[in-house]
Amino acid sequence: MGLKVYEYSKCSTCVKALKFLDTKKVKYEKLPIVEQPPTLKELKTMLSYLEEQGGSFKNLFNTSGQLYREFGISDKLKAGMTETEALKLLAANGKLIKRPFILSDKTGTVGFKEDVWKKLFTK
């Protein structure tokens, strides 16, 4: 698997992230996160990378999104939503996923933090 970037074209953070990759001449496959959300397997792979970085499945959620509020995800997480429930919900609703969502065989992260991306994509 090459580098996959799940993004939303109207997301300014995604635009910045893709520009960063283009500037670094990193090859990637761009995928529309809303129409084609990451699979359950990809979400589990990403979760393993996030856990290595000290994160959890909660870091996969786009907490500033409208759908996050509409679905009451914050309350569901506090009430004990399981990892399995969360991953199934995310796989079915791309707008709930923090973006950009970048994944390869060797690494993955969500969101765009330039310092993190510099570590991931410097040759």
Cβ-count burial of 8 within 10 angstroms (0-12 exposed, 13-18 middle, 19+ buried)? buried
Q: Which CATH class is domain 4-120?
A: alpha beta
Rg value, the chain, Cα: 14
Residue 64: Cβ within 10 Å count = 8
Domain boundaries, the chain: 4-120
Supply the pTM of this predicted model: 0.92
**Along the 123 residues of the chain, how does pLDDT read in single tens digits?**
689 999 999 999 999 999 999 999 999 999 999 999 999 999 999 999 999 989 999 999 999 999 999 999 999 999 999 999 999 999 999 999 999 999 998 899 999 999 989 988 875
